[in-house]
Amino acid sequence: MLDARGGDLDEPRFDTVFRISLYSVRGFSAHFPALRHFMPNSYTELYFPVLVQAIIAMALAAGLIAASALLGKRAKSPLKDTPYESGMVPSGSARERFSVKFYLVGMVFILFDIEAIFLYPWAVVYRQLKLFGFVEMLLFIVLVLVGFFYVWKKGALDWSKPESARKVVK
Amino acid sequence: MPLANFIPTADDYLRYLPEIILTVVGVVIMFLEAVGGERRKPALGWLAGAGLLAAIWGSVVALGVGGTGFQNMVIVDGFATFFRILVLVIGLLTIVSSTQYLDREKANAGEFHALLLFSIAGQCVMASANELIMVFIGLEISSIASYILAGYLRDDRRNNESALKYFLLGSFATAFLLYGVAWVYGLTGSTNLAEVRRVLMTPESAPNLVLMGTAAALMFVGFAFKVSAAPFQVWAPDVYQGAPAPVSAFMSTGPKAAAFAVFLRVFITAFGPIATRWEPFVWGSAIATMIVGNFAALTQTNIKRLLAYSSIAHAGYVLVAVTAHSEIGTAAAMFYLAAYAFMQIGAFAVVTWFSRQGEKFVNVDDLAGLGERQPMVAAMLTIFLLSLIGVPLTGGFFGKFYIFRAALDSNLVWLTVIGLLNSAVAAYYYLRLIVVMYMKEPGAATENIGPVSAGLRVAILGSALATLVLGIFPSLVLDFAGRSAALVK
């Protein structure tokens, strides 16, 4: 059975399921009056368990920190105050100035990385979308390629370009 | 829902013709910018102009197959077409008024035009959005391009400040909007505007009104920021002052018109049933916006800053029309945004020409003697300023007239009174510019001033002509606005 927008009515839609929760809970307690005391009938009651869970979570975290502070042994040494580098001995300060090239390359990488991720959902539904999906994805890739070409031609990927050639903000 | 239902029809593509044209031309410009040499730069401006003209044609074609498209995500009606054509015309005026500026500041022209087209494409998406997700996508496309445009002269300190402020505050406001969208979806189970309205109208499924009001308030924050309405207007003066003059002209008209388009559509279509909840807030915001804008403009000495505060005040007048929440109110807002766009762009075009390289001359006192030395330009600027005041025979007069009539029709007597008092206050600072131009001794700033370039001449004369036409034959635009003001419910 199809609804006005062509959706399949037999298949419950996510939003319907989502919205129906509170009403179905109300309807359920109407049929079983004895259960009414246990069934939530307002948003406050419906979300009460969430509140309880939040309190337990916070209490647990605070309790563990407090327990380790009260019960744990403390041995202070300068080595303990150094940054953790997965076991390596840290060398030099982390507050250095990095070349702006890292920023540029990092940004370009993230952009293309995220655009490549769009290919995965397309691959999953490729059979259902048939030629349409193929053409749309082709257009998408062409757009990404133009962007890549632009970045390339503008010299953003040129690592050897001397820093002094760039203009500095006055 | 089977996936095959998502495959669009040929009509769907026709309904989206303007956006498609703008995107394709924008990408081609970016490509040519990377390939072509310095010689070909001027051609890119022409290409962008041709793309905008083609997109105007595309909007008309799209209206021919009007209706909803792409699974109800997009709606092409008179309202959408009005705003599409408005932002496209704003784009054309921006391009002609920026050619000389970009040459003068030795700024790379290719990216400028590509970004402008992308920004306008985003505004067209907003104008035809029928779905909160589309509203958000359009807003982002439009905003991200304008963040870059605001800092287009990247060696200039003020440009950088402008872009950074616009970006930080703008992303923050967009986050509010998106959070509001999430609330609306959680409460009504849909992001489709008509569907949200239907859920709100059905008593048994209507969500908690306090929560729904919160959702509307969150979305209001996002929209109020984009139209620079109080209390979210603080960014506007700094951003408009720092950005390149043609970009300020664009930012204070195009994105603002598109933001008002979605504001009207979302609040009247989707949130119409809970109007009694949001009307008081918009009422308050309208008053605050008018007062803050006008009174702050009184003491400004920088013309760009003055125009920025005046732009805030004008957003306040349009909010009056939104508060009216009626079909004539919507039509009045549409007419006002069109009239305002021409006078604002015209005034900024004069500033673009007058300020000269590095925007050296942007003080009110610099205008002294312009009436004597450049009578023609001074006369044009006078037309724009008189229209901004709302003097009869200019577009600004009928804009204000229709807005306050719509407000009175909706029994908003106090709002009308405060609005009219504000217009009187506004007359002072606009007239001050005219007084300086005509009655002060000519100063150093008006000496040796070069001629107005052909592009700027087109922009200034075109805006002045449009301002006068809207003031003498308002029905040309108002009839169309009135017919398209009935939003889908």
Mean pLDDT score across all residues of chain B: 92
- Find chain A residues with C-beta within 8 A of B7's C-beta: 129, 132
Shortest CA gap A7–chain B (Å): 5
Residues of B with CB under 8 A from a CB of A: 1-7, 27, 30-31, 33-35, 71-72, 154-157, 160, 185-186, 188-190, 205, 208, 211
The answer, yes or no, to whether residue B69 has pLDDT greater than 50, is: yes
A108 & A58 share domain? no
A111 & A147 share domain? yes
Say if the Cβ atoms of B205 and A149 lie within 8 Å.
no
Range(s) of the domain holding residue A65: 42-72
- The b-or-e profile of B403-418 (16+ CB within 10 A means b, else e) is bbbbbeebebeebbeb
Q: Residue A65 domain-assigned? A: yes
Q: Residue A81 domain-assigned? A: no
Average pLDDT score over residue span B292-310 = 94
A28 & A55 share domain? no
A156 & A117 share domain? yes
A12 & A57 share domain? no
Asked if residues A8 and A2 have their Cβ atoms less than 8 Å apart, the reply is yes
For residue B160, give the nearest of B101, B217, B242 by alpha carbon: B242
Q: What is the CATH number of the domain that holds A135?
A: 1.20.58.1610
A109 & A155 share domain? yes
The answer, yes or no, to whether residue B113 has pLDDT greater than 90, is: yes
Q: Residue A49 domain-assigned? A: yes
A34 & A54 share domain? no
Residues facing B74 on adjacent strands? B69, B129
- Find chain B residues with C-beta within 8 A of A13's C-beta: 1
Nearest to B189 among A19, A129, A170 (CB): A19
pLDDT band at A18 (very low <50, low <70, confident <90, very high): very low
Nearest to B30 among A15, A146, A169 (CB): A146
**pLDDT recorded at residue A24:** 53
Residue-wise pLDDT for B252-298, tens only, equals: 999 999 999 999 999 999 999 998 889 999 999 999 999 999 999 99
Q: Residue A83 domain-assigned? A: no
pLDDT band at B3 (very low <50, low <70, confident <90, very high): low
Q: Residue A129 domain-assigned? A: yes
**Does A6 contact B at CB distance below 8 Å?**
yes
**pLDDT recorded at residue A5:** 46
Q: Please give the DSSP secondary-structure letter assigned to residue B229.
A: -
pLDDT band at A28 (very low <50, low <70, confident <90, very high): low
Q: Residue A93 domain-assigned? A: no
- Higher pLDDT pick, A159 / A5: A159
The answer, yes or no, to whether residue B124 has pLDDT greater than 90, is: yes
Nearest to A150 among B5, B31, B154 (CB): B31
**pLDDT recorded at residue B266:** 94
**pLDDT recorded at residue B2:** 65
A37 & A49 share domain? no
Whether omega before B442 lies within 30 degrees of 0, making that bond cis, reads no
If you measure CA to CA, which chain A residue comes closest to B69?
A: A5
- The total domain count for chain A is 3
Asked if residues B324 and B412 have their Cβ atoms less than 8 Å apart, the reply is yes
Model confidence pTM above 0.80: yes
- Higher pLDDT pick, B379 / A9: B379
**pLDDT recorded at residue B169:** 94
A129 & A104 share domain? yes
A10 & A54 share domain? no
Q: Three-class SS of residue B412?
A: coil
If one counts every other C-beta atom within 10 angstroms of the C-beta of residue B199, the result is 21
**Does A98 contact B at CB distance below 8 Å?**
no
Residues facing B302 on adjacent strands? B363
**Does A150 contact B at CB distance below 8 Å?**
yes
Nearest to A153 among B35, B155, B190 (CB): B35
A143 & A109 share domain? yes
- Find chain B residues with C-beta within 8 A of A16's C-beta: 189
Asked if residues B237 and B301 have their Cβ atoms less than 8 Å apart, the reply is no
A55 & A23 share domain? no
The answer, yes or no, to whether residue B57 has pLDDT greater than 80, is: yes
**pLDDT recorded at residue B133:** 94
For residue B357, give the nearest of B132, B35, B106, B25 by alpha carbon: B106
Q: Residue A169 domain-assigned? A: no
Asked if residues B278 and B213 have their Cβ atoms less than 8 Å apart, the reply is yes
The answer, yes or no, to whether residue B71 has pLDDT greater than 90, is: no
Query: Considering only A85-89, B222-226, B378-382, which range has the smallest mean pLDDT?
Result: A85-89
Q: Which residues, numbered 27 to 46 in chain A, qualify as contacts with chain B under a Cβ-Cβ cut-off of 8 Å?
A: 43
- Find chain B residues with C-beta within 8 A of A132's C-beta: 7
Q: Residue A127 domain-assigned? A: yes
Asked if residues B484 and B78 have their Cβ atoms less than 8 Å apart, the reply is yes
The answer, yes or no, to whether residue B473 has pLDDT greater than 80, is: yes
